[in-house]
């Protein structure tokens, strides 16, 4: 790599311009340049990439992975089919490789959760209900998704300024921790400090921890039709003075608001938007 800037370098792409063109995050390209996958020059104190080198890398990446058939527009059903088969056969190496390729393509945490992991778990739930797979198959797949979430989180670009503090939990009687983990991962990736308490938590424990951590809001996930624990949690958290975000496949927006939620979200992307809105509203008094 060379320094200084002539007219040839000035006409080359900055990392941000190249990232915009590819439709991925600037940090993704930065990592590729640092690894030597994409040739670059240092000019005027920052990296510059030749358009031909960017195109060559993209072509190579797409051929190798089959992961990004149409830049920016992933074929999520095909991706889900592939990951589903890795999860159901217990091929964790192949699952990791697939996730790594998508990470290279700039897929966000919310996309991973809402377009890939959640639909696959739905499918697994259906097969399990129909007796076509065992509880062991389901547990292995769930555990692998937990590990993949950690992997995606570890690879995320460094978040900007902290947006606020959120306590995430599934209330007493609900043993589904994965939906909460997805929301917690999405909020962390967005720049929130998140305290994820897992599943089956008594309402008072959630409220006490939110008080200790000076939370801005509490996010409760609800995967089933069971309501006693959820009502208990809403009462305790409301009494402690925190706004509540409710979400999950076990409840709809109207019921959540009626129970006392400030907002409802049906996906990780909506959890991110709603949490930002709650923090903004709180700051505005
Ligand atoms: C994995 C799983 C389990 C695992 C949980 C492991 C874990 N670590 O979480 C275990 C084995 C423990 C389990 C147990 C049971 N389960 Co179960 N389980 C599932 C399964 C297959 C996947 C759940 C999951 O993780 N989904 C993926 C998540 C991420 O999707 P999601 O919940 O829709 O979340 C998305 C959005 O809703 C949103 N979101 C989620 N939470 C939140 C929160 C906020 C604040 C916001 C804004 C957004 C948000 O973002 C997510 C990403 O897009 C589902 C099948 C299914 N259809 O989901 C059944 C399912 C949820 N289970 C079910 C049942 C019946 C049970 C059991 C009662 C079975 C039994 N007889 O023992 C028990 C005990 C339940 C209890 N008391 O809690 C039913 C629930 C039916 C109902 N409506 O009541 C389902 C739907 C299966 C089925 N088709 O019948 N389960």
**Comparing C-alpha atoms, which of 37, 28, 34, 108 is closest to residue 76?**
108
Instruction: Judge if the beta carbon of residue 268 lies within 6 A of ligand 1.
Output: yes
Q: How far is the CA of 42 from the centre of ligand 1 (A)?
A: 49
b/e map 115-137, b = 16+ CB within 10 Å: bbbbbbbebbeebeeeeebeeeb
Q: How far is the CA of 176 from the centre of ligand 1 (A)?
A: 5
pLDDT recorded at residue 25: 64
Whether 182 is in the pocket of ligand 1, judged by its Cβ within 6 Å, is yes
Residue of 113, 134, 170, 176 to test ligand 1 pocket, by largest number of atoms within 8 Å of CB: 176
Structural domain contains residue 203: yes
- My answer on whether 44 and 15 are in the same domain is yes
- Count of the separate structural domains present in the chain: 3
**Predicted confidence (pLDDT) per residue in 147-165, tens digit:** 999 999 998 776 677 899 9
Model confidence at 10: pLDDT above 70: no
Q: How far apart are the first and last CA of the chain?
A: 52
What CATH number has the domain bearing residue 169? 3.40.50.280
Q: How confident is the model at residue 69 (pLDDT cuts 50, 70, 90)?
A: very low
Q: Is pLDDT above 50 for 277? A: yes
pLDDT tens digit sequence for 89-143 = 999 999 999 999 999 988 999 999 999 999 999 999 999 999 999 999 999 999 9
Q: Is ligand 1 within 6 A of the CB of residue 219?
A: yes
Specify the CATH number for the domain of residue 36: 1.10.1660.10
Q: How far apart are CA 4 and CA 282, in angstroms?
A: 48
Mean pLDDT along residues 74-98? 94
Ligand 1 contacts CB of residue 223 (under 6 A): yes
Q: How far is CA 205 from the centre of its chain?
A: 26
| Ligand 1 atom, smallest distance to 180 CA | 41
Q: Is residue 70 part of a domain?
A: no
244 and 139, same domain (yes or no) = no
265 lines ligand 1 (CB under 6 A): yes
Residue ending a domain, choose from 154, 189, 213: 154
Residue 159 lies in a domain: no
Give 46's strand partners. 43
What's the pLDDT at 21?
60
Of residues 213 and 46, more confidently modeled: 213
pLDDT of 73 > 70? The answer is no
Contacts of 98 (CB under 8 A, 6+ apart): 67, 79, 82, 83, 86
Tokens of 144: 């692998």
Protein residue with its CA nearest to atom 88 in ligand 1 = 125
- Residue from 174, 165, 167, 279 nearest 232 by CA: 174
Examine residue 71 and state whether it is found in any structural domain, yes or no: no
**Could you write out the DSSP letters of every residue in 105-118?**
TT--HHHIIIIIIH
User: pLDDT digits over 22-34, tens only?
Assistant: 556 667 777 788 7
Residue 2 in domain: no
Phi then psi for 9, rounded to 5 degrees?
-65, -40
Cα angle 123, 194, 79; round to 5: 30
User: The CATH number of the domain where 132 resides is what?
Assistant: 1.10.1240.10
Kindly state the average pLDDT of the residues 190-196: 95
The DSSP symbol for 252 reads -
CA-derived radius of gyration, the chain:
22
pTM over 0.75: yes
Parent domain of 28: 7-65
pLDDT for 36: 79
> Do 87 and 59 fall into the same domain?
no
| Residue with more model confidence, 276 or 63 | 276
Residue nearest ligand 1's atom 66 by CA: 224
In which band, very low, low, confident or very high, does the pLDDT at 268 lie, cut at 50, 70 and 90? very high
């Amino acid at each position: 790599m060379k320094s200084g800037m002539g007219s040839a370098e000035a006409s080359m792409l900055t990392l941000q311009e190249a990232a915009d063109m590819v439709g991925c995050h600037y940090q993704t390209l930065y990592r590729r340049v640092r690894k030597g996958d994409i040739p670059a020059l240092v000019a005027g104190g920052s990296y510059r990439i030749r358009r031909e080198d960017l195109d060559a890398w993209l072509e190579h990446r797409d051929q190798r992975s089959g992961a990004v058939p149409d830049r920016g527009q992933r074929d999520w059903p095909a991706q889900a089919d592939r990951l589903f088969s890795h999860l159901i056969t217990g091929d964790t190496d192949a699952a990791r490789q697939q996730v790594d390729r998508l990470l290279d393509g700039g897929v966000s945490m919310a996309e991973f959760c809402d377009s890939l992991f959640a639909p696959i778990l739905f499918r697994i739930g259906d097969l399990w209900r129909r007796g076509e797979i065992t509880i062991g198959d389901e547990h292995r797949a769930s555990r692998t998704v937990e590990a993949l979430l950690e992997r995606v989180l570890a690879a995320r670009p460094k978040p900007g300024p902290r947006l606020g503090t959120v306590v995430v939990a599934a209330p007493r009687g609900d043993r589904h921790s994965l939906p909460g983990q997805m929301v917690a991962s999405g909020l962390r990736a967005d720049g929130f400090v998140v305290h994820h308490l897992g599943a089956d938590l008594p309402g008072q424990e959630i409220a006490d921890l939110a008080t200790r951590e000076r939370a801005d809001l509490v996010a409760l996930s609800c995967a089933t039709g069971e309501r006693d624990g959820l009502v208990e949690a809403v009462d305790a958290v409301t009494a402690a003075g925190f706004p509540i975000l409710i979400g999950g496949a076990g409840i709809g927006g109207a019921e959540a608001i009626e129970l006392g939620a400030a907002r409802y979200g049906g996906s990780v992307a909506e959890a991110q938007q709603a949490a930002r809105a709650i923090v903004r509203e709180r700051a505005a008094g």
